[in-house]
Structure 1
Amino acid sequence: MKVPRFGVEEWLNVHEQSASYDLASVSIRSMALDELFALTQTDGSAFFQKLQKTTLNYGWIEGSPAFKEAVAGLYERQSPDNILQTNGATGGNLLALYSLVEPGDHVISLYPSYQQLYDIPKSFGAEVDFWHIRKDLNWLPDLDELRRLIRPNTKLICINNANNPTGAVMDRAFLLELVDIAQSVGAYILSDEVYKSFDDSLEVPAICDLYDKGISVNSLSKTYSLPGIRVGWVAASPILCQVFRDYRDYTLICAGVFDDMVATLALQHQEAILQRNRELVQTNLKILTDWVDQEPLVSLIAPAATSTSFIQFHLDQDVEELCLSLLEETGVLLVPGNRFDIPDHARLGYCCDTATLQKGLGLLSKFLKKQV
């Protein structure tokens, strides 16, 4: 089994630690434990005293009962038995793909999206067709194209919602059409849902709540600002979860006891975290869109109040060379769009510290003026 290099992660692995102004990360500004404790009104001393007395064995294999109950509460139709803890959303995606995809299967994947969702099925011997996002549709894909791609033997449709890198969101009406198309041939839908939209005008249900063959993957990394604990989950029907359990024993066994404790604390107080992050998204998105409005060399289809955005440069330069020069001269880090097979664009994560965003955008403008 061979897989190509993971374009985005390869870029970040090489350059992230050298950046002074990281506008590449698409988590909402990560929290330290002291901020988490303050937000959740938790006595940190009591938390660590409990940890000190907790045996660091394998813990709860599928996630603690409290964790599973908290995650189930995020959905309309899921119970704790429908939740399996994973090593981040990457672990959840891998679990679902490893469990379902076999050589010769037909898979349709949104493209571009998170690279796992198309290159892992290819590595398992599946035939993968791309369902392309379209700029003229505000970075959404065309459902009629999906109807042309679907086959009687299509096994799986992979999406991420909101989309990485653009921040475009499939709403309830769109998803219901998608489910109808999948249901017509009995295909599964795997939906990576790590980016929450804070646009209150949009209704964005989880795919597992709309379809009995829908598989929702999520984590604490993006929406909940805790990527460092590497905790995610899969939410799916009891039948699918039973299939996943067999494969999960080969890929994870369990997450860490400490990680489960932190994840459970965050999810039990998710409203406080979501309010913190809503304010940051709204504040920083306005800063970004105001900057784009006054920057003649950049344009943007604004994301649906998610933490990732995809700007376009109006310059006749290779975008990866441009991003490398930007980093070397200013310390500002973006992800070049060629890593998503879309030239002239770059992923810009605007939900960092507000001061970092403002400084980084200012330096980016000065840099762009030198390129003309």
Structure 2
Amino acid sequence: MKIANFGVEEWLNKYEKRAKIDISQSSISAFTLEELLNLDGTSVEEFFKERATLSLDYGWIEGSEEFKRLVASLYQNLTEENILQTNGATGANLLAIYALVNSGDHVISMLPSYQQLYEIPKSIGANVDFVELKEEKNWSLDLEELRAKIQSNTKMICLNNANNPTGTLLERSDLLAIAEMAREVDAYVLVDEVYAPLGEGDFVSIADIYERGISTNSLSKTYSLPGIRIGWVATSAEITEEFRKYRDYTMICGGVLSDELAIHALKNKAAILRRNKKIVAENLQILKNWVESEPRVTLVAPNFVSTSFIKLDIPQKDEEFCLDLLNETGVLLVPGSAFDRPNHARVGYCCKKEELLKGLELLSDYLRKFDK
């Protein structure tokens, strides 16, 4: 099996630890362990004292019953039997594609998108077609173009909602139309939903509106807990049962302590979302104000999610620019080329406010060299 290098992950793996100011990440500012536990007044000492005799065995293979119940409550029409715990949303995406896509199948993906959603099908031997998101159309998915790409043998449509890196959203009406298209050829619709919006937009999970819809998600982005590596896949009982067989080959369990921390987060969901809505709203306004004042940057504003994609008006390739920027200022971006969209860069604007302000200031100062 051959697979392309994973552009964004390869870039971050190589450079993120060198950054002094990291405005590249797509999560909302991560919690410390203490901050997470303190959401309901629990101290670190209390949490671990209560679990001092907890056996560090394999734990719950599919995720604990409480974890699955709490995740199921995030959906309209699912129960805990429709939930499987995974190693982040990347593990959920891998599981779904590995279980359902075969060599010779036809798959449709959006572009740009999270590279996993189209490179894994390619590596299996599927034929992948793309519906390209266009900046001049606000990075929106063209439903008529999608319909034209669907074939009688289309096995899966792979989407990212909201989209990474652009932050744009497919709303309920769009997803209902996509589900109807997929239903005509009995295709699966896999939607990576880690960037559920924290503000405007009529968001709905694909698993709640389509019988062959597969929702993947995690606590990494909206819930600010990428370090515990807990995600899930949510779908119909029939598809979940199929996934169980393949899951045995890709993951045993998520870890008993990670499961406990995930439960604590989900129990305190309301507090987390209040905190993160505030971060998104305030930092998005900072980003918009900066874009308005920066002549070499334009932006289609993200839909209250934690990732954004600026266009750079510079006479230099984006990857070279991002590397030079890092070396000379310590500011880290992800070049658009990592998403097959050159002349752009991903800005993770939901970091700490002071880090965002400083990063944007240094970025503007650095862009001035092209004005000479």
TM range (shorter): over 0.9
- 1:138 is aligned to 138
- 1:167 is aligned to 167
SS of equivalent to 1:141: coil
Shift of 1:153: 0.8
Amino acid aligned to 1:198: L
The answer to whether residue 224 in structure 2 is matched with residue 219 in structure 1 is no
RMSD (Å) for aligned C-alpha atoms: 0.8
**Residues 173-188 of structure 1: matches in 2 within 5 Å?**
173-188=173-188
- 2:193 is aligned to 193
- 2:341 is aligned to 342
Amino acid aligned to 1:138: N
Q: Following the alignment from structure 1 to structure 2, what is the Cα–Cα distance between the partners of residues 203 and 341? A: 28
- 2:318 is aligned to 319
Amino acid aligned to 1:116: Q
Shift of 1:189: 0.3
| Residue pair 2:151, 2:185 contacting (<8 A) in 1 also | yes
- 1:156 is aligned to 156
Deviation string 1:193-224 (CA, Å, 9 cap, x unpaired) is 00121223x11000000101000000011110
- 2:116 is aligned to 116
- Of 41-50 and 153-162, deviating more is 41-50
Q: Following the alignment from structure 2 to structure 1, what is the Cα–Cα distance between the partners of residues 26 and 39? A: 21
The answer to whether residue 129 in structure 2 is matched with residue 129 in structure 1 is yes
SS of equivalent to 2:62: coil
User: Could you list the runs of 4 or more consecutive aligned residues of structure 1 that deviate by over 3 angstroms after TM superposition?
Assistant: none
Q: Following the alignment from structure 2 to structure 1, what is the Cα–Cα distance between the partners of residues 46 and 34? A: 13
**Residues 326-337 of structure 1: matches in 2 within 5 Å?**
326-337=325-336
State the TM-score, normalized to the length of structure 2.
Answer: 0.98
Q: Following the alignment from structure 1 to structure 2, what is the Cα–Cα distance between the partners of residues 346 and 301? A: 12
- 1:267 is aligned to 266
Shift of 1:135: 1.3
Deviation string 1:80-124 (CA, Å, 9 cap, x unpaired) is 010000000000000000100011100001111111100000111
| Residue pair 1:40, 1:266 contacting (<8 A) in 2 also | no
Shift of 1:351: 0.3
| Residue pair 2:37, 2:47 contacting (<8 A) in 1 also | no
The answer to whether residue 207 in structure 2 is matched with residue 208 in structure 1 is yes
SS of equivalent to 2:133: strand
The answer to whether residue 309 in structure 2 is matched with residue 305 in structure 1 is no
State the TM-score, normalized to the length of structure 1.
Answer: 0.98
| Residue pair 1:192, 1:217 contacting (<8 A) in 2 also | yes
Shift of 1:44: 2.8
- 2:58 is aligned to 58
| Residue pair 1:187, 1:213 contacting (<8 A) in 2 also | yes
Q: Following the alignment from structure 2 to structure 1, what is the Cα–Cα distance between the partners of residues 78 and 47? A: 29
Amino acid aligned to 1:178: I
Deviation string 1:117-155 (CA, Å, 9 cap, x unpaired) is 000001111111011112122111200001110001100
Q: Following the alignment from structure 2 to structure 1, what is the Cα–Cα distance between the partners of residues 212 and 255? A: 29
Shift of 1:50: 2.2
Q: Following the alignment from structure 2 to structure 1, what is the Cα–Cα distance between the partners of residues 27 and 256? A: 23
Shift of 1:7: 0.5
Q: Following the alignment from structure 1 to structure 2, what is the Cα–Cα distance between the partners of residues 134 and 180? A: 23
Shift of 1:270: 0.5
SS of equivalent to 2:102: coil
Shift of 1:47: 1.2
- Of 129-138 and 208-217, deviating more is 129-138
Q: Following the alignment from structure 1 to structure 2, what is the Cα–Cα distance between the partners of residues 124 and 70? A: 34
Deviation string 1:65-84 (CA, Å, 9 cap, x unpaired) is 11001101111111001000
- 1:107 is aligned to 107
| Residue pair 2:131, 2:145 contacting (<8 A) in 1 also | yes
Amino acid aligned to 1:203: D
SS of equivalent to 1:57: coil
SS of equivalent to 2:217: strand
Q: Following the alignment from structure 2 to structure 1, what is the Cα–Cα distance between the partners of residues 241 and 37? A: 35
The percent identity for this pair of structures is: 55
Deviation string 1:267-309 (CA, Å, 9 cap, x unpaired) is 1111100110000000100000000001111110100010000
Amino acid aligned to 1:25: Q
- 2:243 is aligned to 244
Q: Following the alignment from structure 1 to structure 2, what is the Cα–Cα distance between the partners of residues 198 and 251? A: 31
Deviation string 1:320-340 (CA, Å, 9 cap, x unpaired) is 111111111111100011111
**Structure 1, unaligned stretches of length 5 or more?**
none
